[in-house]
Structure 1
Amino acid sequence: MPAATVAVITGASSGVGRATALAFARTGARLVLAARSRPALDLVAESCRALGAPVRVAVADVTEPATVEAVAEAAISAYGRLDVWVHTAAVMAYGRFEDVPAEVFERVVTTDLIGAATVARAALARFRPQEHGVLIFGGSLLGTVVTPYTSSYVTSKWGLRALVRALRLETRDAPGIHVCLVAPGSVDTPIYRTAANFAGRFGQPPPPVDSPERVAAAIVRCARRPRATVTLGLASRIIRFGFVATPALYDVLVGPLMRIAGLSRERVAPHTGNVFAPAPQPPGPARPAPARPGWWPAAALAGGLLAWQSVRRSRRTGASTLTR
């Protein structure tokens, strides 16, 4: 990453995007921060300027391509080039698929997947002429596994992973251009409470939960030394292994674990959250204190996996003995 890196961050107003803006500001980067909420952006920009970073602010909605183009032009106009684009903007909806209104489902997919494609189009159009640039997408464990009550978000994140892979293949002719995916598990951000909700209970990040700052640090490292995919957390690897290696067992366990660890006990009436427009975070903690140690969902899945394998081995041994 060159000195005085020019970095655009979409979704910079909160959560991982905000933490990433601050992390880049500490490196001396020159920033363009974009999101839908100007007041929230101004607060983040003020914090970045206090760290010594030059900052431009651009109100943008990734479902409106013209506003994304304006973000790219703001970077070129202000700084003459664009080195890194980090895209973390996302919305979410909770509820059974049949309970989530079609327009909410479609808007989540449009924002999280089609919006990412819009950002990629704008970024690559600037990277190609200058023959360098790093495009980093905020992915998720839910781009590799599936949980109930999050169908629109899961659909988007699986699609995002495919999009990133396709872009990586199509930029092989440009060794100075990198397309990366940073995929954490649960992160303590407002998205769980600002999400649209038709599940009857507020969502919460299932433990173990990473801080936005840890994810932001991984993003900055990826900008400096681009890697195709960065996966954060041992628990994510355990859960992904269970999803792939023993899908039947995973399907038995994931529903109860999601209801216990992924949905809080706090009731909420159906609402569309910030899916269609910025919305203040509802009162209350983003992450209620867990009733059990943070590793227990992954440990439960790992324990179930080992028990399942033990039963299968016993059955094979028994069958082998009977045939002798």
Structure 2
Amino acid sequence: MAITLKPLGDQVVVITGASSGIGLVTARTAGRAGAKVLMVARSQDVLRGIVAELQGEGLHVEAKAADVGDRAGVEAAAAYAIEMFGRIDTWINDAGVAIYARLADIPLDEHERLFRTNYFGVVNGCQAAIPHLREHGGALITVASIASDMAVPVMGAYAASKHAVKAYVETLRMELQEDGAAISVTLVKPSGIDTPIGQHAANHAGGEAQIPPPVYDPQLVADAILHCAVHPLREITVGGGGRAQALFAAHFPAIYERLAPKAAKVFTDPTKPQPRPSNLAWGVRAGRERSGEHPHARKTSLYTAAALHPRATAAVGLVGLALAGGLLFARRRIGQPVASVSKPRR
């Protein structure tokens, strides 16, 4: 069945994890574009303040408090969207938490809680949204990470959850296609993004958790998500720097395995204490879009701008393959590993 998505200004959009970071930027952007938006997050108090602000701008925004790890709560949020707006056109799974620690140092309850939010939160969101999207068609968008394409020392549990999300979303897409459902299923994979995720994280690695570089502005991700709400895409990586890292990990695994633990040392700043408590068990310090620590976060990405257009996507992919092929040829030609690769600014 052909998939036709409405203009954003005519849509009803549900966003989980909407009280901070990417989710909050996306909610504001969608509302200002004319969409009717239901914001979902754990903190009713924070949501109430944000909704009052956006309704004060004349936007059609409502909120429903729910923990994405609780199926009943997510289904109640979907029902509330129908009650308030009559339908759901786009569902965005964005809620997520992080742990900074070596895998052996992560308490089991924290590990399980991370998967309850990052993986089962996606499962619950998809299961709540699909019955409504089947009726009239629409978009089902899940925010994963470039960590779904590679292992990440110090953030190993987070990466594992994002690998699981990627497998779930890709399989779900196949099943919905087989059913003939007019639902566009998209996986969005951000690079390091200037949100408070590090400040909100559980951290057993010491110092303050940092965003893995290079760091991009969250507006780039919000724009990519909302592009996919209008134009069906299978997946999109936000940030050429992150895509280059994933390609390097895939094509040079032995070198990546040696370099990644060393690179991960910049994932924490020993000169700063970690803010506590974390939001692993409950939402804290929500309401901020950015970390406040990256005023020069990259606001553009040539890679992402090209990849958002279907015809350009193939060309971008060929460029990436050509780069990887050239590196592999150079490695074989000189008979030794390539220790470093200079990359153009993206």
Distance 2:64 2:241 in 1: 36
Cα separation, 2, equivalents of 1:9 and 1:222: 14
Aligned residue among 279, 282, 290 for 2:284: 279
The total of aligned residue pairs comes to 302
Q: Within the alignment, does 1:171 sit opposite 2:176 as a pair?
A: yes
Tell me which of 182, 187, 203 is aligned to 1:181. 187
Amino acid at match of 2:14: V
Counterpart secondary structure, 2:154: coil
Aligned counterpart for 1:138 among listed residues 120, 137, 143? 143
For 1:110-141, what per-residue CA distance to the aligned partner results, in whole angstroms no more than 9, with x for missing partners? 1100111011000002112x140211111111
Query: Which position in structure 2 is the counterpart of 1:322?
Result: none
Aligned residue number for residue 202 of structure 2? 196
CA RMSD after TM alignment: 2.6
Aligned equivalent of 1:74, options 80, 88, 91: 80
Cα 1:266–1:125 change in 2 (3 A) is farther
Which of residues 31, 34, 51 in structure 1 aligns to 2:37?
Answer: 31
Q: CA deviation at 1:241?
A: 1.2
1:54 to 1:158, Cα distance in 2 relative to 1, 3 A: same
Q: Is 1:315 paired with 2:331?
A: no
Alignment partners' CA distance in 2, 1:289 and 1:17: 18
Identity %: 34
Match of 1:113 among 119, 137, 153: 119
1:161 pairs with 2:195: no
| 1:11–1:270 Cα change, 3 Å | closer
Q: TM-score, normalising length from structure 2?
A: 0.81
C-alpha distance in 1, partners of 2:190/2:91?
Answer: 18
- Using the alignment, how far apart are the partners of 2:234 and 2:53 within structure 1? 30
* Partners of 2:139 and 2:184 within 8 A in 1: yes
Q: Pick closer, same or farther for the CA change 1:258–1:65 going to 2, 3 Å.
A: same
Maintained 8 Å contact 1:95/1:198: yes
Q: CA deviation at 1:4?
A: 2.7
Is residue 2:173 matched to residue 1:151? no
What SS does structure 2 have at the residue aligned with 1:279?
A: coil
Aligned-pair distance for 1:307?
Answer: 8.3
Equivalence for 1:253: 259
**1:214 Cα offset (Å):** 1.3
More deviation in 307-316 or 29-38?
307-316
Shift of 1:287: 6.1
SS at match of 1:31: strand
SS at match of 1:56: strand
Q: Flag as ranges the 4+ runs of structure 1 deviating above 4 A.
A: 269-272, 287-290, 305-311
**Structure 1 residue matching 2:229: 3-state secondary structure:** helix
Bigger shift: residues 206-215 or 181-190? 206-215
Question: Given that residues 199 and 275 in structure 2 are in contact (C-alpha distance below 8 angstroms), is that contact kept between their aligned partners in structure 1?
Answer: no
Q: One-letter code of the match for 2:149?
A: T
State which of 195, 217, 228 in structure 1 corresponds to 2:234: 228
Q: 1:206 to 1:306 in 2, by over 3 A?
A: farther
> How far did 1:204 drift?
1.0
TM-score, with structure 1 as normaliser: 0.86
Structure with higher Rg: it is 1
The answer to whether the 8 A contact 1:199-1:270 is kept is no
Rounded Cα–Cα distance in structure 2 between residues aligned with 1:237 and 1:280: 30
